[in-house]
Amino acid sequence: MKTLEEAYSSKRLDVGHFRIFGSSLYFYVTKNARKKLEPIAELGIFVGYTDTPHNYWVYLSTIRMTMVRRDVRFDEEKAMRVSLERELKLHADDDILAAKVEEPHIDVEQSHAEEPGVETSTQAESSIEGRKCTKEANKLLDDGLDNVGEPNSQRR
């Protein structure tokens, strides 16, 4: 999907300056605003952009105020970790709440004996293509296809 600007100019827009909302950041405290043994940087939370370039709205939880700051360092890796943990927790809750469908039990003698102490979800099952796949790998593959789509010749 293209934006109007992309359709008109046939160029992709640069969005490298976008930051994750709610991510923690550190902003520089000038020499005039701090005393001798106070820290050089303080912790804040990114809440938005200003009209002026390179200025950001920062929420300071220590004084419960929002201020405009320029010299900031974002900690987006921490925000991504927290976001992924929340998403995994939500998906885990969905799996628990989902109704489980019981498969009919068929007595077929298995050629390989199950090892004691090994979970059934980690045991490999042979698929149609002949490769060994686990249930987790199949779930990751399905999620990837849903999010990214089928591979084509342009994308590798």
Mean pLDDT of the chain: 75
Percent of the chain with pLDDT over 70: 67
Count CB-CB contacts under 10 A for residue 85: 10
Phi, psi of 7 (to 5 degrees): -65, -35
Q: For the purposes of burial, counting CB atoms within 10 Å of the CB of 32, is it exposed (0-12), middle (13-18) or buried (19 or more)?
A: exposed
Q: What is the pLDDT of residue 100?
A: 53
Structure tokens at 18: 């976008």
* pLDDT tens, residue by residue, 101-138: 556 656 555 545 555 555 555 555 555 555 555 677 77
Listed in sequence order, the residues at least 6 apart from 45 whose beta carbon sits closer than 8 Å to its beta carbon are 22, 23, 24, 25, 58, 59, 61
If one compares 127 and 68, the residue with the highest pLDDT of the two is 68
pLDDT bin (cut points 50, 70, 90) of residue 58 is very high
